[in-house]
């Protein structure tokens, strides 16, 4: 995530998104509102030149580190829906 110049919180949100979590789940895991999660995503979009969540996830997954491994390690008891 450092390669993308994302803040720590933007990285956390993006990694959880890449791991398959929905915005509401991310908000609960990080103890913030869904609005705050969206704000972090918008910032991440600007910094990565992405326009959608799918583009951001693709950028993360094709990057040097696999983002969702961080999310799985950190939030091993939480599982995405589906």
Q: Go through 42-77 and write b for each residue having 16 or more CB atoms within 10 A of its CB, e for each that does not.
A: eebbeebebeeeeebbebbeeeeeebbebbeeebee
Q: What is the pLDDT of residue 66?
A: 52
Q: For the chain, which domains are there? A: 2-74 (1.10.10.10)
Per-residue model confidence as pLDDT tens for the chain (82 residues): 556 778 999 999 999 998 999 999 999 999 999 999 999 999 999 988 899 999 998 888 886 655 455 555 555 455 555 5
Please tell me the distance from the alpha carbon of residue 10 to that of residue 20, in angstroms, as a whole number: 16
Please tell me the distance from the alpha carbon of residue 67 to that of residue 34, in angstroms, as a whole number: 20
Q: What is the pLDDT of residue 59?
A: 85
């Amino acid at each position: 995530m450092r390669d993308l110049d994302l803040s720590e919180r933007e990285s956390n949100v993006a990694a959880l998104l890449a791991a398959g979590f929905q915005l509401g789940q991310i908000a609960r895991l990080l103890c913030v509102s869904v609005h705050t999660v969206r704000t972090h995503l918008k910032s991440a979009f600007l910094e990565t030149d992405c326009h959608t969540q799918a583009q951001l996830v693709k950028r993360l997954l094709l990057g040097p580190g696999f983002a969702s491994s961080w999310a799985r390690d950190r939030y091993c008891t939480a599982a995405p829906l589906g």
